[in-house]
Homo-oligomer: A and B are copies of this chain.
């Protein structure tokens, strides 16, 4: 297949590009280095310096003899997007090209505006590039479980049947996200669903939870092929922050009461899920929504797991509750469905002590690079 990866320099974009190239597909990876630019400007750079996308593609070719075509441009520029889709006429496109940081999107007007303009603009351009040049192309869009927020009823996979005053209909599951970043993904979904209904696009929306892990079949080949590992308050997930704090001897910073429950998954499972989506395209006019996570747990449970793995490695791991810089429920009902991907064949990898231990060892090898000033929250929601 001919597959375009938008946001191919990202934490997931790069491993996805390698994964599909290794599986024998023709792969184009596009990026404008927006995340690198924001990371530089906000002093939030990754722990392990990562070569640029062209360099990574060269290393990958040298080590595997497999090709990833690299294109550096802004997907918010329709002229460039259109030109790419006309040239490639892809069978599938995986859309990661969004400003992905919730705290960054809550920092102020400029950051909010950039997040909104980039995320909606790129999704809109993607829709039109597909309509114009590859109407059969299957769009795999990365959404987020955060679109749903924390409702008091079970979270279904994208859709809900509502019975109301004796009548029934099926709707997109209501969404109420907790940051502007997450809200832009809600807008993306609205926009995609409109064009699916009207023009018969084929779209799979992967509602993903926080992803952890560095090791994939391809990243094992050479450390220069590792995904970005951000541990700062802007791009770092709670998992990464906790791992770095455990290694640096800083107490794990749980925001608020720590009862916030989310669905997590291993980066290997992200690759499986995206592969399953690409291998099982939807018919024209269908928006398939799949909840993409493998385990549910609270921030407190996550901290306990990291502490356990750290203690086993001889680290003395402490946990500290911080005033929550975010505005979110710290104790809430949370029961989310995620059967769709398992029905397609997903074989989940659990967050075992071994997995955490391997990540801790990677961080320990780069301990000298840790900047502890990047870990504490620098953005408050209010």
Binding site for B on A (CB under 8 A): 78, 109, 112-113, 116-117, 120-121, 124, 128, 132, 151-154, 160, 162-165, 167-169, 171-172, 174-177, 180, 183, 186-187, 190-191, 193-194, 197-199, 327, 333, 381-382
Contact = CB atoms under 8 A, between A and B. Distances in A.
A197 B176 contact: yes
Given A120-B120, A162-B160, A183-B194, A153 B172 contact: no
A234 to B, nearest CB: 18
Nearest to A200: B382
Q: State the number of copies, please.
A: 2
A162 B132 CA distance: 39
A153 B164 contact: yes
Contacts of A382: 198-199
Contact of A152 (B152, B167, B183): B167
16 contacts: A78-B109, A78-B113, A112-B124, A120-B187, A151-B169, A153-B167, A160-B162, A162-B162, A162-B174, A171-B176, A172-B174, A176-B194, A177-B194, A180-B194, A198-B381, A198-B382
Contact of A124 (B113, B162, B174, B333): B113
Contacts of A172: 174, 176
A168 to B, nearest CB: 7
Q: Which 10 A-B pairs have the closest CB atoms?
A: A171-B174, A152-B169, A153-B164, A183-B194, A153-B167, A187-B187, A151-B169, A153-B169, A109-B128, A186-B190
Contacts of A151: 169, 171
Nearest to A106: B198
Contacts of A152: 167-169
B165 A154 contact: yes
A367 to B, nearest CB: 37
A153 B165 contact: yes
A153 B176 contact: no
A327 B333 CA distance: 40
A167 B154 contact: yes
A52 B175 CA distance: 42
A194 B163 CA distance: 26
B176 A327 contact: no
A174 B163 CA distance: 13
Nearest to A127: B112
